[in-house]
Amino acid sequence: MNENNFIKNNNQIPSTTNSECTDEIKLLDEPLNISNVFENASVLITGASGFLGKVLLEKLVFSLTKVNKIYLLLRPLNGKEPQERLTKLIESPLFSRIKCKDEKRLERMLLPINADLMKEDLGLSLEDQELLTNEVSIVFHCAATVKFDEALRDSIQMNVIGTQRLVALCRRMKQLKAFVHTSTAYANCNNEFTAEHIYEPCANPSKIVKAVSDWMDEKMLDSLSVQLLNNRPNTYTFAKALAESQLLEEQKQNPLPIIIIRPSIVGAIWKEPLPGWIDNVNGPTGIFIGVGKGLLTDMCGNIDMKTDIIPVDIVANMLIAAAAYRTKMHTTSKEYNKEREMKIPVIHCTSGELNPLKWRKFVKIYNKIWKMMETLHYFTTREWTFQSKNAINLWDGMSFEDKRVYNFDIRKVDWDSYLFNYLMGIKLYMLKERLEDLPKAQAGLSWLRQFNLYSSGFIFALIIRFTIWFVY
């Protein structure tokens, strides 16, 4: 099949209206009681070694003590087996409050499973497949490749085909009550306004998956990338949109209790367990480090546009609340019917509409590492509006106690104190610097700024002198 025919055939997508595809979050007949939903439940998490996955895992273990078991899909990495990786993971200060209350709780509740989303059947042994299909009732899918510059094939294999393989396992689960899929608010960043529904894909997901898996070589795939991305800035956002479409396509054939959460730019912890905790340089964190070290002096952006940052603990809390809602949606709602079962609720976990933060505030904290700037340029020079009705409805349907324990109300975030904790968290947890050394670091940064100013002035003077010499 040649490239032009592939694009032509690929765009022949079965017509579906958005209202047919998605479900609005509505108040249940009684307030949501999250602890009751998770009591004696067995939970499966993918991506538990990632930033969001760690925070989600900590929250589940700390707050939901009656959970039966939490299974973690982990692949061997750098010569370390899953159990060794888990042991290293829970050494993080993030899990300190759990160890203080009950040192053995993590050991009792967590069970690593050797698995790989890039392999057929997730690389699971027959024994582990049987264990998971018999025991698991709630699934959190957080695993993804989040590299903006990832090769298209790798991004599709992980974010789309990996999700497909996990869904295939979930279809065999005898007690499945909720499948929470973590997407991104920027899956549809080619639209300035994003509603809480799954958009019709720019490419047929089944055909893309088949092409990537079976016959399309790298050269052909690269040549088609521009058309396939459809004005999206990178492969990550495209693959995430495709994964949503693939879920919807499969949902029409064989429904599962799926709910999709779309976080925006996930940042450091807001409140608990450690305000400011961060463990990666993605998004604004890399910029903060570059500026703080005097390595970054400029970047493209509009200081009057919204930067849609969402604290990671808010995302984790919403994931848990969404799982509880999806579990109770059909068992308590009088409006339940078979047609509604096929729909997939979508919730935006974003800040821009409810508590906007503008890039201008960042400029007040810092005055502005090359590759990072290039990948973020698309997002710092634009802004989006993400519908937030479902997030508010989910929040309003929770009990007072659950609102306290699983707080994801972005409207309560004070950005000044949050950004201060964010920067202090980078120093403590990423750069391993002591806060007592802050004055010394500030003096060093001041010297770098002066050096940059004087060197720029010297170069400018040389240019002027050379120009005068050349003209006259």
Q: pLDDT tens digit string along 243-288?
A: 999 999 888 888 899 999 999 999 999 999 999 999 887 877 777 7
Say if CB 277 and CB 313 are below 8 A apart.
no
Q: Which residues of 298-336 are buried (b: 16+ CB within 10 A; e: fewer)?
A: ebebeeebbbbbbbbbbbbbbbbbbbbbbbbbeeeeeee
- Planar angle of CA 454, 459, 460, nearest 5 degrees: 95
**Upstream peptide bond of 31 is cis (omega within 30 degrees of 0):** no
Q: Which domains does the chain have, with CATH numbers?
A: 3-433 (3.40.50.720)
Is the Cα torsion angle 379, 384, 387, 391 positive or negative in sign?
A: positive
367 confidence band (pLDDT: 50, 70, 90): very low
What is the per-residue pLDDT for 394? 92
Task: Indicate if the pLDDT at residue 383 is higher than 90.
Answer: no
What is the per-residue pLDDT for 362? 65
Question: pLDDT tens for residues 98-136?
Answer: 999 888 899 999 999 999 999 999 999 999 999 999 999
Q: Where is mean pLDDT largest: 7-16, 138-147, 369-378?
A: 138-147
Q: Where are the beta strands (DSSP E) in 307-360?
A: 309-311, 344-349
What is the per-residue pLDDT for 13? 39
DSSP string, 240-280: HHHHHHHHHHHHHHS---EEEEEE-EEES-SSSSSTT----
The region of weakest confidence among 64-78, 414-428, 455-469 is: 455-469
306 confidence band (pLDDT: 50, 70, 90): confident
The stretch 36-42 carries a mean pLDDT of 95
Question: pLDDT tens for residues 321-347?
Answer: 999 999 988 654 444 455 556 689 999
What is the per-residue pLDDT for 177? 95
25 confidence band (pLDDT: 50, 70, 90): confident
The region of weakest confidence among 82-86, 160-164, 427-431, 463-467 is: 463-467
Q: In sequence order, what are the beta bridge partners of 44?
A: 71, 139
What is the per-residue pLDDT for 313? 96
Task: Indicate if the pLDDT at residue 375 is higher than 60.
Answer: no
The region of weakest confidence among 136-140, 154-158, 217-221, 251-255 is: 217-221
Task: Indicate if the pLDDT at residue 447 is higher than 50.
Answer: no
Closest CA to 374 of 279, 189, 230, 234: 234
Task: Indicate if the pLDDT at residue 36 is higher than 50.
Answer: yes
8 confidence band (pLDDT: 50, 70, 90): very low
What is the per-residue pLDDT for 42? 97
pTM score, whole prediction: 0.80
Task: Indicate if the pLDDT at residue 16 is higher than 60.
Answer: no
Looking at per-residue confidence, does 224 or 439 come out higher?
224
Phi/psi for 43 (5° steps) reads: -115, 145
17 confidence band (pLDDT: 50, 70, 90): very low
The region of weakest confidence among 29-33, 43-47, 167-171, 317-321 is: 29-33
Torsion of CA 199, 204, 206, 208, to 10 degrees: -120
The stretch 205-224 carries a mean pLDDT of 79
What is the per-residue pLDDT for 15? 34
What is the per-residue pLDDT for 240? 92
Mean pLDDT estimate for the chain: 81
Say if CB 112 and CB 76 are below 8 A apart.
no
What is the per-residue pLDDT for 430? 76
The stretch 143-155 carries a mean pLDDT of 81
Q: Rounded CA gap, 29 and 265, in Å? A: 33
The stretch 20-49 carries a mean pLDDT of 84
The stretch 201-214 carries a mean pLDDT of 80
Question: pLDDT tens for residues 41-85?
Answer: 999 999 999 999 999 999 999 999 999 999 999 999 999 999 999
Task: Indicate if the pLDDT at residue 364 is higher than 70.
Answer: no
DSSP label of 335: T
What is the per-residue pLDDT for 369? 37
Looking at per-residue confidence, does 352 or 223 come out higher?
352
Query: Strands across the sheet with 138-141, in order?
Result: 22-23, 344-349, 258-263, 178-182, 138-141, 42-46, 69-74, 110-114
